[in-house]
Amino acid sequence: MTEHPVPAPVVPPLVRPRRLRTTPALRRMVAEQQVQARQLVLPVFIREGLTEPKPVSSMPGVVQHTRDSLLAAVSEAAELGLGGVMLFGVPETKDATGSGALDPSGVLNLAITDVVAEVGDALTVMSDLCLDEFTDHGHCGVLTADGRVDNDQTLAAYADMARAQAHAGVDMVGPSGMMDGQVRVIRDALDAFEHTDVGILAYSAKYASAFFGPFREAVDSSLVGDRRTYQQDPANAREGVREALLDVAEGADMVMVKPALPYLDVVRRVREAVEVPVAAYNVSGEYAQLEAAAERGWIDREAAILETLTSIHRAGADVILTYWASEAARLLAL
């Protein structure tokens, strides 16, 4: 029997996807996702008592700011067209209840006032609403006698903290402590004091993640142990969606997934479940590992930054908190 060779498959002439990848201009034109500077939020740290910026060793390029260097950073962010900044305060002294978070003269509340005066409406000024930077035990709430976080007592402190930040002039508060009912309590507290225009960016799906390590250096965390009793289990995606839906029902204006890269599936699920804008936090560990690989010459740093942010946006994030925000805005403008 004579064997006949099987002819090579012929791609029909009308099905040639590579034609749309031929030139840079064509690739730009048909790109399905395009991160824009307006979608980026820059997290910044302001430390009480500094006379010059202090580098964060585990996050190359990131510093704890003085009041003066903070204003320079947010002015640059406004000029670059970023969507906003998220402020974190690092006090000189801490106590068991995090009282510095409520002090009108505390580092975070003064920073809010400074930044609002500097940038006006050019940036959305956001602030972290949590006690962990201000407590000597490093937890996100007030502790009971046996060392557990007291959910309801913590909510009362969050209400006071929200009012203090609103009085300082903040545009949007970011409750990140993962206490049950925190959004409703904060919304009620803001409305009762006629701060109805202050928005809430709820950290709805915040996981007990190993990727937060460098952040704890950045805020001089006092934490011993972990936060697994109130932050979410990394194994649970449905729970993240449920938390987001609860926060929307309680009055959240935006919801967030944190971290971003290990939880892109959760970002997508939350995006599909809610009608409000969805944010994702490209956290310190994600930043540090890319910077470390780039420093060793293992990856193309700038390309990896943009690819990272594009992947988060592609998963469904409308807003991205990232330590690369200012640099990414410059890269996107090229």
Backbone angles phi, psi at 47, to 5 degrees: -110, 130
- For the residues of 226-247, what is the DSSP string, one character each? --TTTSBPTT-SHHHHHHHHHH
**Residues 304 and 297 sit within 8 Å (Cβ to Cβ):** no
For residues 36 and 268, what is the distance between their CA atoms, to the nearest angstrom? 19
Catalytic residue among 258, 269, 271, 313: 258
In terms of Cβ atoms closer than 10 Å to its own Cβ (0-12, 13-18, 19+), residue 29 is exposed
54 is catalytic: no
206 is catalytic: yes
**Residues 326 and 83 sit within 8 Å (Cβ to Cβ):** no
- Smallest CA-to-CA distance from 279 within 310, 301, 308, 258 is with 258
H helix or E strand, kind and range, residue 18? none
Catalytic residue among 206, 227, 271, 313: 206
From the centroid of its chain, how far is CA 90?
17
- For the residues of 77-127, what is the DSSP string, one character each? HHHTT-SEEEEEEE-S--BTT-GGGT-TTSHHHHHHHHHHHHHGGGSEEEE
Active site residues: 206, 258
